[in-house]
């Protein structure tokens, strides 16, 4: 049996000596393919997270929005622009989608499947590389192991999404028994010579983002943290008490599959509602500030310095309780 794994809540970063006097001295930029992004955050290609409005805002804030693929090619083209990325599958019309979206200025594509360590992924990567060479940047995933990461890198991916089953509305681990905590997967992959690492799943706070970057990720991908905003697709509605909500759903949920496929074949996600959050700009600004603060606590002026200086310690259950704002628990 494999060693015990660790998740975000199982560890803390140890504060280091720092000479940083202002967050303006901290650079959290990261490179993906030929582009550099000032914010190391990608929005998840889900139909309740990333449409046209989200990609525009992500781009303006220094991050990258990845258009979801659960629509017709024409609808995806209508949302696309030069600053957006676009998700495609690894079967069906993915070659045609890439051809058409590329004509409309899209240069970054995400091969978006739940289990990316697969022969079909290898075939898709090789076909796209043979046809487009280095004229496009390819994100592929998801995988959960260092071998999966190494293979996708070798097959032609520029970046690999690391994490299976950790998303807040993903039930893969429950339904299939498979998965590895995202933090553990990133740790396992960081010493492998390969593509850009994107930590994807289970990230709930700015602290989790800092831990992901310190563990070896170059970017993080966010879903629930960006859902429920003005820029995420879907309408705002009120309940009987006047509280505002938006729908947030996994793409393997019954509701999502029936909408885009006509039937539900596999159930590895749920659909729910989350409180309306207002503009995603406020969320991204807060995350950027807190990520910079996180780097400064390790005395790091950039992500590479963070990864070199970071020291993790295990956290007990009592430590986890203490880490949360716990004054209300005393009343």
pLDDT in tens, 264-317: 777 778 889 999 999 999 999 999 999 999 999 999 999 999 999 999 999 988
Confidence at residue 111, expressed as pLDDT on a 0 to 100 scale? 98
Say if 153 falls within a structural domain: yes
Tell me the average pLDDT of the chain. Answer: 93
Number of C-alpha atoms within 13 angstroms, CB side, residue 13? 28
Mean pLDDT within 225-244: 95
Would you tell me the crossing angle of helices 280-297 and 52-60 to the nearest 10 degrees?
A: 40
Q: What is the CATH number of the domain that holds 134?
A: 3.20.20.70
Q: Is residue 259 part of a domain?
A: no
Render pLDDT for 24-62 as a digit per residue (tens, 0 to 9). 999 999 999 999 999 999 999 999 999 999 999 999 999
What domain range includes position 133? 26-229+279-312
Distances (CA, A) of 246 to 170, 242, 243, 274: 18, 13, 10, 6
Q: What is the pLDDT of residue 74?
A: 97
> 221 in a domain, yes or no?
yes
Question: What's the confidence (pLDDT) of residue 150?
Answer: 98
Residue 327 makes CB contacts below 8 A (sequence gap 6+) with: none
For the chain, helix (H) and strand (E) counts, in that order, are: 12, 15
The per-residue pLDDT for range 159-178, each reduced to its tens digit, is: 999 999 878 778 788 888 89
pLDDT band of 133, cuts 50, 70, 90: very high
Q: Judge whether 126 lies within some domain.
A: yes
CA–CA distances in Å: residue 204 to residues 8, 128, 200, 227, 314: 9, 33, 11, 12, 19
Task: Return the minimum-mean-pLDDT range out of 113-127, 129-143, 249-263, 294-308.
Answer: 249-263
pLDDT of residue 35: 96
Q: Is residue 330 part of a domain?
A: no
The confidence score (pLDDT) of residue 265 equals 72
Residue with more model confidence, 44 or 323: 44
| Residue pair 215/221 in contact by the 8 Å Cβ criterion | no
Q: Is residue 74 part of a domain?
A: yes
104 within some domain: yes
Average pLDDT for 149-164: 98
Q: Indicate if the pLDDT at residue 330 is higher than 90.
A: no
Q: What's the rounded mean pLDDT across residues 113-138?
A: 97
In angstroms, rounded to a whole number, what is the distance separating the alpha carbons of residues 312 and 180? Answer: 19
Percent of the chain with pLDDT over 70: 97
Instruction: Quick: pLDDT tens for 104-118.
Output: 999 999 999 999 999
Domain total in the chain: 1
Residue 96: band (very low, low, confident or very high) from pLDDT cuts 50, 70, 90: very high
77 in a structural domain: yes
First to last CA, the chain: 43
């Amino acid at each position: 049996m494999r060693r015990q794994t660790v998740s975000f809540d199982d560890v803390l970063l140890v504060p280091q000596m720092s000479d940083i006097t202002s967050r303006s001295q901290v650079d959290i930029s990261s490179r993906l393919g030929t582009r550099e992004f000032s914010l190391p955050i990608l929005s998840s290609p889900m139909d309740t997270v990333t449409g046209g409005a989200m990609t525009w805002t992500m781009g303006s804030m220094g991050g990258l929005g990845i258009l979801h693929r659960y629509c017709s090619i024409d609808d995806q083209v209508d949302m696309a622009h030069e600053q957006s990325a676009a998700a495609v599958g690894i079967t069906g019309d993915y070659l045609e989608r890439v051809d058409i979206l590329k004509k409309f200025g899209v240069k970054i594509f995400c091969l978006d499947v739940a289990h990316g360590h697969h022969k079909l992924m290898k075939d898709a990567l090789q076909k796209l590389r043979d046809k487009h060479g280095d004229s496009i940047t390819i994100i592929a995933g998801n995988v959960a192991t260092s071998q999966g990461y190494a293979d996708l890198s070798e097959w032609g991916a520029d970046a690999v999404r690391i994490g299976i089953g950790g998303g807040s509305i993903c039930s893969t681990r429950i339904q299939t028994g498979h998965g590895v905590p995202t933090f553990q997967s990133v740790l396992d992959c960081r010493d492998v010579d390969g593509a850009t690492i994107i930590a994807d799943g289970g990230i709930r706070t700015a602290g989790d983002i800092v831990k992901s970057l310190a563990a070896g990720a170059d970017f993080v991908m966010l879903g629930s943290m960006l859902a429920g905003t003005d820029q995420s697709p879907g309408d705002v509605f009120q309940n009987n008490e006047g509280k505002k909500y938006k729908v947030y759903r996994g793409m393997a949920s019954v509701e999502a599959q029936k909408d885009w496929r006509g039937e539900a074949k596999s159930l590895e996600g749920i659909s729910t509602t989350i409180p309306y959050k207002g503009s995603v700009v406020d969320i991204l600004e807060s995350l950027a500030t807190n990520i910079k603060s996180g780097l400064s606590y390790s005395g790091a002026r950039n992500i590479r310095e963070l990864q070199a200086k970071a020291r993790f310690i295990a956290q007990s259950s009592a430590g986890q309780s203490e880490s949360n704002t716990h004054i209300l628990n005393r009343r």
